[in-house]
Amino acid sequence: MKGVVLAGGVGSRLSPLTRVTNKHLLPIFDKPMIYYPIQTLVDAGIRDILIVTGGRNAGDFLRLLANGKEFGLRYLNYAYQEGEGGIAEALALAEPFAEHDSVCVILGDNIIEGSIRKAVENFTEQGKGAKVLLKEVTDAERFGVAEIRGSNIVGIEEKPKHPKSNYAVTGIYLYDSSVFRKCRSLEPSARGELEITDVNNAYIREGTMTYEFLEGWWTDAGTFESLRRATNLVAGSAERSTQGD
């Protein structure tokens, strides 16, 4: 399995912080934001990783990350997304990198406390289809929301005004190689973007979508409030780790 970190976009909700840098290069406690999703993939045993970014500060990722030596990697791969075509468009750029392999995709502003190693192992055993990681939240209207019946996801609704559940689809997705064919078949949404929720619903219609609940805390960092929350959560975990030592 290969890993893909999606770190494009302009980060308009974090302006003016993002006027001079990419959102994913902003600090979360003592590290740049992009460090956390990369480490999540590495901790799951994934060593072949692609960073998809864009905008005027794309070169800063290379200067910061180089070949990934800090993460114990021999090299990192990079791809450039032109414009703001959405998450699915960014993912489509990973097709040559994936080379018909399955992929673990993580949004560059997603930060977690636990590990996804078990989910990756379970998906490898699953063999085909997709798997999403869910987390119960109090502000589900901010996210893609999963409707669950029994043991199955029957649909995902993007940022609903009246969520059918409190189960947010986190920005961590596991896909087989058919994901790229699905990306190519998408039509732009009302926002003019190719939506990852449409990709996930395509797997649901196939009957090949599974899910697991993410252990520990999880947050994105795309707003001022969630950026502050991410910093506080990471700092709290670091403090508890130090006290444990």
Q: Which tens digits make up the pLDDT trace of 126-181?
A: 999 999 999 999 999 999 999 999 889 999 999 999 999 999 999 999 999 999 99
Query: For the segment 85-113, what is each residue's pLDDT rounded down to a tens digit?
Result: 889 999 999 999 999 999 999 999 999 99
Q: What is the pLDDT of residue 150?
A: 86
CATH code, 2-244? 3.90.550.10
Residues 6 or more apart whose CB falls under 8 angstroms from that of 183 comprise 88, 89, 91, 92, 95, 194, 199
Q: What is the mean pLDDT of residues 13-38?
A: 96
Give the number of residues written for the chain: 245
The pLDDT confidence band at residue 38, using thresholds 50, 70 and 90, is: very high
Res. 244: pLDDT tops 80: no
User: Which class for 25: exposed (0-12), middle (13-18), buried (19 or more C-beta within 10 A)?
Assistant: buried
Alpha carbon 71 to its chain centroid, in Å, reads 18
Bridge partners (DSSP) of residue 210 are 131
| Burial grade of 72 (CB within 10 A; 0-12, 13-18, 19 or more) | exposed
Report the half-sphere exposure of 203 (CA within 13 A, side-chain side): 25
* pLDDT, position 83: 76
Q: What does the alpha-carbon distance between residue 54 and residue 58 come to, in Å, rounded to a whole number?
A: 5
> Which letter, b or e, does each residue of 126-154 get, where b requires 16 or more Cβ atoms within 10 Å of its Cβ?
eeebbbbbbbebeebeebbbbbeeeeebe
For residue 243, what pLDDT is reported? 73
**Poorest-confidence range of 81-85, 108-112, 199-203?**
81-85
Q: Is residue 10 pLDDT above 70, yes or no?
A: yes
pLDDT band at 240 (very low <50, low <70, confident <90, very high): confident
Q: What is the mean pLDDT of the chain?
A: 94
Q: Does the pLDDT of residue 233 top 90, yes or no?
A: yes
